[in-house]
Amino acid sequence: MALVFIFISLLLGMSDALPQDLSGKMLVFPQETKTDHVTLITSRQNLRVTTVCLRYFTDLSRECPLFTVATHSQENDFIIYKNARDEMEFYVRGDYAAFKGLDNQLNKWHSVCGTWDAASGLVQLWVNGKHSSIKFVTNSIINEPMSIVLGQEQDSFGGGFSSSQSFVGMIRDVHMWDKILSPCEIRYYSNELSFPPGNILSWNSIEFQLTGRVLIKDVADQC
């Protein structure tokens, strides 16, 4: 009986790591905490060009992470971050660029896409279909296992969390590609039209692990 219980427990513990279709679903982070987060799982161990898109909703006026990637050699390897000065920050390999004047209104869904190409070192953000200026960050590539976390800013590989930097709100439709999406594809994503799903991470078939009080809910219908 004890062996059966252990086997069932192992299966339950593994269930969140199986690919799931989260279309029409959102992750809810309901409290400020230094523990609650979601780990997105990929076997990818190198990155030299990418686009990341997601949608988020929050009432936080303080700083908070939207998407974080850490490696063993660099805690700020790839991060899209909302700071307390109504700016968006885009980190790659520890270097970053700040973007001003992008839509950051509270209590509203925002579609955010970030692009980076190591060949040029250039990054750009798109918020609700409108692009930022283009800025240089780094030509250095990511070439080691990646820890991808939603809900927390990583100060170490998969950890080093702080409640003052936690995300509170909702996140959905996370996709990651190994290419730069065209402006039309990004606008299609922003307008919730047809777009190619991510080939590194796809919300339509995504492996993840929930830790703490993070909920999966249906996206509320809008009247």
Q: pLDDT of 136-193, one tens digit each?
A: 999 999 999 999 999 999 999 999 999 999 999 999 999 999 999 999 999 999 999 9
Report, at the CATH architecture level, how domain 19-218 is classified.
Sandwich (2.60)
| Numbers of helices and strands, H then E, in the chain | 2, 15
156-168 pLDDT, tens digit per residue, is 999 999 999 999 9
- The token duo for 194 is 């047809």
In the chain, domain spans:
19-218
Phi, psi for 81 (deg, rounded to 5): -140, 135
